[in-house]
Chain A
């Protein structure tokens, strides 16, 4: 019982949107596709049957798409709500429309809108509307949930609610597909993250215990071979110049498509070092490998947010209040470092 893309490929005239790829979303799994807006919109259109794939097909539960599209439920980025209805009326309407058996009370509690049940939708904030849409989707109770930019621009409270609900869906054995252009969101929410662009589909990371273990081993080796004197600055190439950054300046380092990027005061600079090399160099300066593709300057961390039992994020004290993901195994390490 899976949602499958089989050799799915899309091109518009001569322009390749995405080349042929295979992807399976099975029950109890959350899969994220990290892509540009264009690719995301094309994928949504394909799933909605507005456009056809250039090649390949989408199958649901081994059946052709047409027969079982009722199994899909969508959370659109731009979804309309009946603004003059109250929250309770809107949910009740959805329940009747889908002849759903899910309790209205439970759903309102799940998205934490029960205290506002009589409030008209037009009076809600953006994040509350998104939660409202999520509530309607929960009432539909589909087998597969397709989230389009689910937590974009959401406030922290709503994001936490969203991730808790997502966890619940996975436990109920639903399939979840997240389409997003935000790496942090993809990594925090999903079990498997893929990047889809005109070069194809690439796995970005998996929360594999094995990999985490090997990463831990690597760090223990590097700890032994620390050299006392070392050139401390991190070079970065900007156009034709080489800029040297002091480690304390750096907010965090992100690895994207095999390239490391230093994030400093809201700007990003690429560097030729790999994350492992940078980790070795920066360990003495209070940097911490919080995720397979992230190194954070612990001096800049303001908050550690626990979304659910195994998804965490760090909020930095920089200008943008950036959030970066923290993997479960690293959370344990971090706790030890903090002496908790």
Chain B
């Protein structure tokens, strides 16, 4: 299947204009950045505190925005028009993913800038961030397929936001509740562990397990989204 970059770009531009004028959704970008500014004011922070914000930025922007973009197309009855157009599904979803990806990366970078977090090894962290962004976007797409309106989307995304942002505290209680060990394999925790290793001077070879686990999450979510999409859309 040929993917037309022109059409994907058109969808990206359209979604960006639509998104920037939709204050109900676009204001979520302010949340992690605003918190980042406040954290930055209070002096240097621990890695965990920084990554609480970074995970929040990922889930708020990548998952929530992507979910809303898809849900709104359904709610406003515009998806039918897109599906009838020569644009393929890959182009429609691709255009949206691209927009969310750019927004996520921008938000994360700005947040980091304000919190004064300077990773010891930029290359490793960048790869980890890109993989994480893909995971959260795939998750957002999946949730978007389930929700019929923006309202529903913002409700459905709440538990996810809680798990993946506050979940950063999980290591603190893992000694108390052994069952929580399963949670240690979540990509947000893996990202923190990776960051800690990087701060301790680790390179790619040291953090390979963490990267692989996050990558596995991406693959699982991607396949799951594909299956659900087939079920939901082709009827």
Contacts and interface: CB of A to CB of B under 8 A. Distances in A.
B81 A89 contact: no
A82 B84 CA distance: 16
A81 B9 CA distance: 19
B86 A97 contact: yes
Given A78-B77, A80-B78, A97 B85 contact: yes
B231 interface: no
Contacts of A125: none
Contacts of A98: 85-86
Interface string A79-111: 111111100010001001111000000000000
A199 to B, nearest CB: 31
B14 A99 contact: no
A82 B76 contact: yes
Nearest to B83: A48
A84 B21 contact: yes
Contacts of A81: 76, 78
A96 B4 CA distance: 11
Given A97-B85, A99-B86, A84 B17 contact: yes
A70 interface: yes
B17 to A, nearest CB: 6
A74 interface: yes
A83 B76 contact: yes
A21 interface: no
A80 B4 CA distance: 24
A97 B17 contact: no
Interface in A134-149: 136, 140
A81 B77 CA distance: 8
A4 to B, nearest CB: 21
Nearest to A96: B10
Majority secondary structure, A binding face: loop
Interface string B65-102: 00000000100111111101111000000000000000
Interface residues of A, number: 21
Given A80-B77, A83-B76, A99 B17 contact: no
A93 B14 CA distance: 7
A200 B87 CA distance: 37
B17 A79 contact: no
A78 B87 CA distance: 21
Most chain B beta carbons < 10 A, residue from A76, A78, A81, A97: A97
Interface string B1-38: 00010110111011001100110000000000000000
Contacts of A99: 4, 6-7, 86
A97 B7 contact: yes
Contacts of A93: 10, 13-14
Nearest to A76: B80
Contact of A97 (B11, B79, B80): B11
A146 B10 CA distance: 25
Contacts of A89: 14, 17
Contacts of B22: 84
Interface string B37-55: 0000000000000000000
Contact of A82 (B7, B9, B14): B14
B12 to A, nearest CB: 10
Contacts of B7: 96-97, 99
B6 A70 contact: no
Most chain A beta carbons < 10 A, residue from B13, B14, B77: B14
A93 B11 CA distance: 7
B86 to A, nearest CB: 6
Contacts of A120: 21
Contacts of B4: 99
11 contacts: A79-B77, A81-B78, A82-B76, A85-B14, A89-B17, A93-B10, A96-B9, A97-B11, A97-B82, A99-B4, A99-B6
**Would you list the 7 A-B pairs with minimal beta carbon distance, nearest first?**
A80-B77, A96-B10, A80-B78, A84-B21, A80-B76, A93-B14, A97-B85
Interface of A: 48, 70, 74, 76, 78-85, 89, 93, 96-99, 120, 136, 140
Given A97-B82, A99-B86, 6 more contacts: A76-B80, A82-B14, A84-B22, A85-B14, A89-B14, A89-B17
